[in-house]
């Protein structure tokens, strides 16, 4: 049983590290602030969550595992909300979308920063 838990922990660490690496690559390579925020919030949350679950399994302690699960739930509840609010603030401040963006569903209000001019990164 211990070998199975060790293998599962190792697999979770490797997959979590890959997701964290993809989040870091997305922050560096993606064209605009909105795409970068998406990569950081989604892939970073999955990577961190998998690493926390691996930590809880490796400890072989029920209390530690429950704290790790609580941390994963907290990440899943807060990371998407904070990324959404940061993206709305960036849009209101006038950060432009990438020319590769296909659809912009945010309304342009008269007198807003995006209506009068745009701000580059």
Whether the pLDDT of residue 110 is over 50: the answer is yes
Q: Is the pLDDT of residue 106 over 80?
A: no
- Interval 4-21: pLDDT, tens: 999 999 999 999 999 999
Report pTM: 0.79
| Other CB atoms within 10 Å distance of the CB of residue 43 | 20
Residue 118: count of CB within 10 angstroms of its CB: 11
């Amino acid at each position: 049983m211990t070998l199975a838990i060790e293998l599962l922990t190792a697999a979770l660490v490797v997959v979590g590290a890959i997701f964290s690496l993809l989040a870091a690559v997305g922050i560096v390579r993606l064209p605009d602030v909105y795409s970068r925020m998406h990569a950081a919030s989604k892939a970073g949350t999955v990577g961190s969550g998998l690493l926390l679950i691996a930590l809880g399994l490796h400890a072989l302690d029920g209390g530690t595992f429950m704290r790790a699960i609580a941390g994963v739930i907290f990440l899943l509840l807060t990371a998407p909300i904070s990324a959404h609010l940061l993206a709305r603030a960036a849009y209101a401040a006038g950060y432009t979308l990438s020319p590769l963006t296909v659809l912009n569903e945010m309304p342009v209000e008269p007198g807003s920063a995006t209506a009068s001019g745009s701000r580059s990164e």
